[in-house]
Every structure is written in structure tokens, then in C-alpha cells.
């Protein structure tokens, strides 16, 4: 018995996803927001066309975790600044500001990195699913590098690993074929 196949158009996913990832990578204010919207549209379109909803929802879940991490990192920056500022002030604010600065630095770093790892776990799952569906292995590699970049953030090499993962994600989107043959379930 012959299996039925259908052709899925990926040109829109390819362009929106690639441009979206590029804008996210460049991290330019409003361009970042536009990149996020384009990427979400690309992932939602791909998820609907392939009937693999996890492509979109795993990425969305991961994004929420990473966004929370960024909020914690911002709070960390302000609290740490206050602690550093407190080191140069006289009591009664000097000592308490130093303690607050130290506690405000260590605890959010640990919590933030754990949340970031959780987020990139979901992004890795999304990219692995895209790799399975499209047969573009660079998505799986990109997802792995993004995940391990989050894990290795503590020793600072993670930033470099994440950088490579983001670049591979951009290349992976632009490497997608314009059409894809899918088996009809």
C-alpha cells in the first residue's frame, strides 16, 4: 500500500525564521521585538503545517523561562550596583548595603542560571523536533549548543557556545528547502 504524501511550502518559514533569528541575534531594541514576532510566526506556521504543535509550544515555553531569567539578571544588576555603592558609604547604610549586594548577587545568579537552563531545554526540544521534521540537522546542533551554552554560563565559556548556537540557528533557517514532502497520517 502506497503512503500518501503532501507538499508543504517552507519559503515563508525559511525567510521569517531566518530574519527573526538574525534580528534576535543583533539584539537591537525594536528590531529584537520584531525578530521575536517573526520567529514566532515562522514557528507557529511550521507547527501547523507539519501538525507538530510542540515546535511552537516548546519554543514559547523556553522563551518564557529565558525572559524570566533576563528579568532576574536585570534585578541582579541593580541590587549588585547598590551593594557596590554601599561599600563606599558610611554606616548605617554601608554594611547592610554590602550584605544585600552579596546576597542579591549570588542567589539571583544561581536561580537565574537554573531558569535559563530550563528555558533552553525547551528551546532545544523545539529545535530537535524541527530537525526531525525538516531533516535539517543544524537545528538539532543549534539547540544543543544553546542548551549547553546556558549550562556553561557559570564558567563564561557558555556565552561563546551560545553565540555559535545562535549563528547556527540563523543558518539552519536559511538552509531550509522551499518545499518539504510530508507523509499524510
pLDDT tens digits for 86-124?
Answer: 555 555 555 555 565 566 567 777 777 888 899 999 999
Angle in degrees, 0-180, between the axes of helices 93-134 and 157-174, rounded to the nearest 10 = 30
Question: Residue 6's pLDDT is what?
Answer: 84
- Is 3 within a domain? no
Question: Residue 116's pLDDT is what?
Answer: 87
Contacts 24+ apart (CB under 8 A), 127-135: 127/59, 127/169, 127/172, 129/52, 129/54, 129/55, 129/58, 130/46, 130/55, 130/172, 133/46, 133/50, 133/52, 133/55, 133/180, 133/182, 134/10, 134/176, 134/177, 134/180
- Is 181 within a domain? no
- Is 72 within a domain? yes
- Is 100 within a domain? yes
Question: Residue 84's pLDDT is what?
Answer: 55
- Is 40 within a domain? yes
- Is 2 within a domain? no
Question: Residue 100's pLDDT is what?
Answer: 59
pLDDT tens digits for 118-144?
Answer: 999 999 999 999 999 999 999 999 999
pLDDT tens digits for 36-88?
Answer: 999 999 999 999 999 999 999 999 999 999 888 878 777 776 766 665 555 55
- Is 121 within a domain? yes
Q: Is the confidence at residue 22, as pLDDT, over 80? A: yes
- The average confidence (pLDDT) of the chain is 85
Q: Is the confidence at residue 4, as pLDDT, over 80? A: no
The residue segments making up the domain with residue 13 are 8-176
Please tell me the total count of domains within the chain.
1
Amino acid at each position: 500500500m502506497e503512503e500518501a504524501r503532501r507538499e508543504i511550502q517552507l519559503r515563508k518559514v525559511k525567510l521569517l525564521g531566518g530574519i527573526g533569528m538574525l534580528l534576535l541575534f543583533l539584539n537591537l531594541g525594536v528590531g529584537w521585538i520584531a525578530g521575536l514576532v517573526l520567529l514566532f510566526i515562522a514557528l507557529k506556521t511550521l507547527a501547523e503545517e507539519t501538525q507538530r504543535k510542540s515546535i511552537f509550544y516548546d519554543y514559547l515555553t523556553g522563551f518564557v523561562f529565558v525572559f524570566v531569567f533576563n528579568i532576574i539578571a536585570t534585578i541582579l544588576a541593580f541590587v549588585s550596583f547598590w551593594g557596590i555603592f554601599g561599600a563606599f558609604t558610611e554606616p548605617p547604610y554601608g554594611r547592610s548595603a554590602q550584605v544585600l549586594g552579596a546576597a542579591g548577587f549570588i542567589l539571583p545568579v544561581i536561580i537565574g542560571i537554573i531558569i535559563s537552563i530550563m528555558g533552553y531545554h525547551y528551546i532545544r526540544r523545539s529545535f530537535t523536533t524541527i530537525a526531525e521534521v525538516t531533516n535539517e540537522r543544524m537545528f538539532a546542533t543549534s539547540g544543543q549548543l544553546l542548551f549547553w551554552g546556558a549550562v556553561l554560563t557559570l564558567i563564561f565559556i557558555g556565552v561563546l557556545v551560545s553565540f555559535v548556537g545562535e549563528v547556527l540557528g540563523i543558518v539552519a533557517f536559511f538552509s531550509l528547502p522551499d518545499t518539504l514532502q510530508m507523509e499524510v497520517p
